[in-house]
Structure 1
Amino acid sequence: MTHKVHLVVLIHGLWGSPAHLLVAEEELEKAWAGSKTSQDISGPSEDPTITTRLTGVQSRSNGSSSRPTTKTKESVRQDGELVIMIAGGMTSQLTYDGVDVCASRVAYEVDQKIKELQKDGKTVNKFSVMGYSLGGLVARYLVGLLHSRQPSFFDKHRPISFSTISTPHYGIPKYNTLLSRVLSYLGARIMSRSGEQLYVADNYSDEDQRPLLEIMADPRSIFYQGLEKFERLEIYASAINDHSVPYPTATIEPVDHFAQWEQRHISVDSDADGIIQSWSVREDDRTEKPKNGNKKGWGIKMGTLPPVLRYRFPFNYIILLLFPIMLPLIVILILTRQSLDTRRSKHRLQLLSQTSTSSEGSYHIPHPSGMSIQALRDGIRRIERSLESDLVENVPLDSPSTSLFKSSSALFPHDHQNPNSSAHEDIDLKIELKDSQMRMCLWLNQLPLEKYLTWWPEIGNAHATAIVRDPKQFPAHERGRGLIKLWAKNTLNAAKA
C-alpha cells in the first residue's frame, strides 16, 4: 500500500541555520497531533538538512520524548503522513549567494527527499512551504523553479500552503533618515548578490535588466503563476519593532501605517498572543499634531537603536562614554567580515558557473551546490517564452497608480489605504519606495493574501521573536510562540480542505 505524504518545507533566513526553525517544526508536530516515527539529520554538520516524519493519532510513541529518533509502530491515518523538512543547503554564509542560487539548492533537497520517500513506498501528494525572512524570497523563487518544470512540479504534488514570516517581499525599504540611507548604501555593496537583491540594486540579466524581486512579482512571470496555484497564501509580520524587515515590506504595503504609533495615538486591539484583531487612530487625537516627533536631519531616535544602547543608569552612560572608541572598531570589524564573506561568495559562484550546466532536457537540480546564475536565467527564460499569458493586459506597468493599492486584510481602515492620505501628513518618519517597489506592491497585492500582524511593543527584537529563534538564551522570544501555533494550525487546516 502506498502511503500519501504531505511534505512541508521550512526555509531559514539570511545568515541563518536550520536550528532557527526548530520551534516551527515543534509546533507543526503538535498541531498534527500524531506520532513521530523518525527524525533524520543528513548532510555536513555545518549545513544539515533536518527531516521529521509523523504518522496519525492511532499510533503512540514508545515513551521517549527526546529529540533523537523515536521508533513507533507504523500506522497512518486517513489523511496520510506529515513530513517536515528544514532546508539546510543554504546555511550561514551561503545565503550571500543570491535568492536564485539558494532556491536551486533547496530544490535539490526537495528532489532528494521525494526520491527517498518514494523508495520507502510513499508518495508526496501534498506540498507546502514556509520561508522566514530572506527564506520567504527563496521560497518564492523555489515555487517558480518547481513550476517551470515540464510537466510542472505542481501537476503531481498538490500545492497547499505558501507562507512567509517577516519576509522583505519588495526588498529592504529606505526611510527618510540618515541611518536608513547609509545602511541602504552599504547593504547593497557588502552582502554580495543577496545584498544587491535585497536592496533592489541589481540588474538580473541582459535580457531583462529589472531587479530580480520585480521580475518575481510580475504577474506574467513563472514565479507569480506558481504562487497562484497554492490553495492558501499567508503573510505573517510584526507591526512594530522589526528592525531587520520593517512592517511595510513584510506585509507588502506602500506606507508604514504604524510609523511613530505612540505620537499618533494609534489604538490596537490584539489577542493574548499579540495577534492584531483591529487598530485605529483615536478620533479625539486625529486632528492633533504628533508630539515629540522626529525632526528632519539625522533621523535617529532611541527607539531605533539596538537594545544594548537602551540600558538604564549607569550602564547607559558607560556605553555612551565608550561609544566613540568602540564604534569605529565595531564598524571596521563588520565591514571586514562582510567583505571577506562577499569575496567567498563570489568565489563560490565562479566555481559553480564552471560546473553547472543548463541542458534543454534538464529540469532537476544536478548538484547540492545548486545551479549557476546563467543556468537559472536560461532555464526560467526558456519556459517563460513558451507561456502564452494575458494576465496583465490591463495593468499599467510603467506608471502604477497609488489609488489601486488595497490591502487584502480587514485590519486596515479605509482612510489608511492611500499613501497620500491626510492621516500621514504629519509623520516625520516616512518610507521612500522606488518605482519598482511600488509596482511590486501593486502586483503582489492582487494575490489572495491572508495577512496576520503581531503587536509586541514590549519586545526589542520582533524579527527573532517571530520564530522563537533562541528561547533558551533569550526567554523573551517565547512571546512569538502564539504566532507559530497559528501558522501551524492554518497550514494543516489548508491541507484538510
Structure 2
Amino acid sequence: MADYSGGSLEADHLCVLVHGLWGNPNHMASVARALRAQYPPDQVYILVAKRNSGSFTYDGIELGGERVCLEIEEELEAIRSKGGNIKKLSIVGYSLGGLVARYAIGLLFARGVLDSVACMNFTAFASPFLGIRTPLRGWANQIWNVLGARTLCMSGRQLFGIDKFRDTGKPLLSVLADPNSIFMSGLAKFKRHTLYTNIVNDRSAVYYTTGISKIDPYADLSKVKVHYLQGWQDVILDPLDPVSPGAPPTDPEPLASLVEKWAKRVPFVLALTLFIPLAVVAFLVNSAVQTVRSSRRVRLHERGLAGIPVHDFRVNLWIKEIREAVEDAYENLNSSQKQEYLDEAGSAGSAGEEEDSDGSVGSASGRRILALERKQSRNQEAGGFPTLALAPYQFAAIQALDELDWRKYPVYIHKHRHSHAAIIVRMDKPGFEEGHVVLKHWVTQEFLS
C-alpha cells in the first residue's frame, strides 16, 4: 500500500479512500493504484482510511464517520506541519464506505474544514445510499430484512433503516439525506458527484440503492437491450440512454442449452446443501460475538475512552433549526412490505401505508410521499419499469439526493458473479478484470484534478 498511497509535499490535492463493511485498506488497493497511475505523487496525495478496518465496521455509520473525519483532519495537519499545502479535497467511498464518507463530510462541513479547501470529487462505488432492505416479497425477503438487520450490529440496523438516530426519531439514512442537514450541505460543496452501480450480481447492494433509483430496469435482462457507453463497451452503460425495452424471444431456448445451464448449477446446489447450514451457524455465532464486541467499543467511544474526542464531533446536525415533533413514521421493517412494486390504484397493501403486525401505521408525510410515487409510477409502468415498493424515507432520500446532479454509471460485470467485489477489483482474482475498466474510466473521464 505504501507504494501508491501518500504523496509528496508538492501535492495540493488530497484524495481519501474509504473501504466498506468487513473491509480493510487493502480492499482499496486497486483504486489507489489506478489513481496513482494517472496522477503522480506531486499532484495527488492519497489517504486510505484505516481506523474502520475489519470488525470495526460493525460499529455503525456515525462512529465510522467520526473516525474517518479524524483521520482526514490529522492527515491535513500532518501535511501542513511538514510544509505542504492541501488546497483540494476528494473523497471516494466503496460500499458502506460511501455512507461513512458522507457522514464524515457532514462533520468536516460543520467543523469548517471544507471552507479551507476546494471540494472536488465525491465518488461512490456500489454504495447503498438507500440502505439494503429489499422490497421483494416472500419468506426470503423476511429472513433478509429481519435477520440481516440484527446480525450486523449497529451498522445492520442503520443499513436496514430500523434505527432511530439520536433524538430525530428517523433512521440515520434519512438524516443523511435531509436537505437541511450538515451532511447534504457538505456533500453539495463538491463540484462533481459520481457513482458507479452494478446492474447484476450485486447481492450486497442491489441496483436501486446504489443507483439511487425507484425503478430497476435490469431485473430481467432478457427483456431489455442495454446500450454501452462509446469506447467502454461491454462494461459501462451509457448513462444518458442505458437501456430500452428489448424484443421478446421468438424461439424457445434449446433443450441442450437448458441442460447445460442446469448442469453448471449442480456444484452450486451441492455447495448450498452441504456447506450453507454450517456457514449460517458459524455466521450467527460470529455475529453474536461481534455484537458484544461492537457494543463494548461503542460504549467506550461514547465515554471518550476510545482515542477519539467524541464530544468534538457531536455537532448540531442541522443547518436550519427544525424542531418539529417527528411522527413515528419509521416502523420496524420486518413486516412493512407485502409486495414488490407500488400498485397502480394505491389500494391497501402498498408499502408504508398499511397497518403492520405490531399495530403501527405510516405517518401522514409518508402517505403523501407514497401517493405521489404511485402517480409517477403509472407513467413508468407504461414504459415497462414499475416503481419499486420502497419505504417513504427511501423515496424522500431519492428526491433529495437527485438534487445534487449525480453522474450515474451503470456497470455490467459479465465475467464474475461477485460483481460487488469486481467493480473495484477488491483483490487480484480471475474474472475481476472488468473492474479495471471501471477504474480507468473513473480516473481518466470523471476525476477532477
Name the TM-score class by shorter chain. Answer: 0.7 to 0.9
Q: What letter is aligned with 1:246? A: V
Q: What letter is aligned with 2:36? A: E
1:184 positional shift: 1.4
In the alignment, does 2:374 pair up with 1:443?
no
Q: What letter is aligned with 1:211? A: P
Name 1:280's counterpart in structure 2: 243
Q: Of 459, 467, 470, which aligns to 2:427?
A: 470
Name 1:251's counterpart in structure 2: 211
Q: Of 21, 28, 36, which aligns to 1:29?
A: 36
Taking a change above 3 Å as real, the CA distance of residues 29 and 397 of structure 1, as seen in their structure-2 partners, is farther
In the alignment, does 2:75 pair up with 1:145?
no
Secondary structure of residue in 1 paired with 2:85: strand
User: What is the distance in 2 between the residues matched to 1:246 and 1:417?
Assistant: 23
User: What is the distance in 2 between the residues matched to 1:462 and 1:319?
Assistant: 17
Q: Of 74, 90, 110, which aligns to 2:52?
A: 90
Give matches, 1:253-402, under 5 Å: 253-262=213-222, 264-270=223-229, 271-272=232-233, 274-277=235-238, 278-282=241-245, 284-285=247-248, 313=263, 317=266, 320=269, 323-355=272-304, 368-369=307-308, 371=310, 376=313, 378-381=314-317, 384=319, 398=366, 399-400=368-369
Q: Of 209, 222, 235, which aligns to 2:195?
A: 235
Q: What letter is aligned with 2:315? A: G
Taking a change above 3 Å as real, the CA distance of residues 370 and 181 of structure 1, as seen in their structure-2 partners, is farther
Give matches, 1:55-134, under 5 Å: 55=42, 81-134=43-96
Secondary structure of residue in 2 paired with 1:141: helix
User: What is the distance in 1 between the residues matched to 2:446 and 2:383?
Assistant: 38
Q: Of 161, 168, 184, which aligns to 2:121?
A: 161
User: What is the distance in 1 between the residues matched to 2:373 and 2:144?
Assistant: 30
CA contact (8 A) 1:276 1:455 kept: yes
What residue ranges of structure 2 are gaps of 5+ in the alignment?
1-8, 254-259, 324-363
Aligned residues: 388
Q: Of 109, 134, 144, which aligns to 1:183?
A: 144
User: Identity of paired residues, percent?
Assistant: 27
1:329 positional shift: 1.9
CA contact (8 A) 2:217 2:243 kept: no
Taking a change above 3 Å as real, the CA distance of residues 120 and 387 of structure 1, as seen in their structure-2 partners, is farther
The one-character-per-residue Cα deviations of 1:238-289 (angstroms, maximum 9, x if unpaired) are: 1111111101100100111110122x2434335336111244334644xx99
User: What is the distance in 2 between the residues matched to 1:417 and 1:280?
Assistant: 19
The one-character-per-residue Cα deviations of 1:104-157 (angstroms, maximum 9, x if unpaired) are: 1111111111111111111111000000000000111111010011xx211111
CA contact (8 A) 1:105 1:368 kept: no
CA contact (8 A) 1:404 1:442 kept: no
Name 1:408's counterpart in structure 2: none
User: What is the distance in 1 between the residues matched to 2:445 and 2:310?
Assistant: 33
CA contact (8 A) 1:87 1:109 kept: yes
Q: Of 10, 13, 27, which aligns to 2:20?
A: 13
Q: Of 117, 133, 146, which aligns to 1:173?
A: 133
User: What is the distance in 2 between the residues matched to 1:322 and 1:117?
Assistant: 50
User: What is the distance in 2 between the residues matched to 1:322 and 1:28?
Assistant: 38
Name 1:457's counterpart in structure 2: 414
Taking a change above 3 Å as real, the CA distance of residues 191 and 157 of structure 1, as seen in their structure-2 partners, is same
1:193 positional shift: 0.6
1:4 positional shift: 5.5
User: What is the distance in 1 between the residues matched to 2:292 and 2:379?
Assistant: 43
Name 2:338's counterpart in structure 1: none
User: What is the distance in 1 between the residues matched to 2:108 and 2:307?
Assistant: 16
User: What is the distance in 2 between the residues matched to 1:132 and 1:102?
Assistant: 13
Secondary structure of residue in 1 paired with 2:127: coil
1:443 positional shift: 1.1
CA contact (8 A) 2:65 2:101 kept: yes
Name 1:489's counterpart in structure 2: 444
Q: What letter is aligned with 1:184? A: N
User: What is the distance in 1 between the residues matched to 2:390 and 2:425?
Assistant: 30
Name 1:302's counterpart in structure 2: none
1:7 positional shift: 0.4
Give matches, 1:40-55, under 5 Å: 54-55=41-42
CA contact (8 A) 2:226 2:237 kept: no
CA contact (8 A) 1:108 1:370 kept: no
The one-character-per-residue Cα deviations of 1:48-107 (angstroms, maximum 9, x if unpaired) are: xxxxxx02xxxxxxxxxxxxxxxxxxxxxxxxx310000000001000101010011111
User: What is the distance in 2 between the residues matched to 1:88 and 1:352?
Assistant: 17
User: What is the distance in 1 between the residues matched to 2:175 and 2:372?
Assistant: 22
What residue ranges of structure 1 are gaps of 5+ in the alignment?
35-53, 56-80, 293-309, 357-366, 389-395, 406-414
Name 1:433's counterpart in structure 2: 390
Q: More strand per residue: 1 or 2? A: 1
User: What is the distance in 2 between the residues matched to 1:402 and 1:465?
Assistant: 38
User: What is the distance in 2 between the residues matched to 1:24 and 1:120?
Assistant: 26
User: What is the distance in 2 between the residues matched to 1:342 and 1:140?
Assistant: 24
CA contact (8 A) 2:228 2:234 kept: no
The one-character-per-residue Cα deviations of 1:446-486 (angstroms, maximum 9, x if unpaired) are: 11111111112343111000100111xx2211211011112
- TM-score normalised by length of structure 1: 0.71
In the alignment, does 2:183 pair up with 1:220?
no
The one-character-per-residue Cα deviations of 1:144-196 (angstroms, maximum 9, x if unpaired) are: 010011xx211111111111000000101312243233111111111111000
Name 1:201's counterpart in structure 2: 162
User: What is the distance in 2 between the residues matched to 1:397 and 1:490?
Assistant: 40
Secondary structure of residue in 2 paired with 1:160: strand
The one-character-per-residue Cα deviations of 1:198-222 (angstroms, maximum 9, x if unpaired) are: 01110012x3110001011011111
Taking a change above 3 Å as real, the CA distance of residues 323 and 168 of structure 1, as seen in their structure-2 partners, is closer
1:421 positional shift: 3.8
CA contact (8 A) 2:180 2:320 kept: no
Name 1:298's counterpart in structure 2: none
User: What is the distance in 1 between the residues matched to 2:16 and 2:291?
Assistant: 27
CA contact (8 A) 1:108 1:368 kept: no
Secondary structure of residue in 1 paired with 2:416: coil
Name 2:171's counterpart in structure 1: 211
Secondary structure of residue in 2 paired with 1:244: coil
CA contact (8 A) 1:11 1:136 kept: yes
User: What is the distance in 1 between the residues matched to 2:418 and 2:267?
Assistant: 23
CA RMSD across the alignment: 3.1
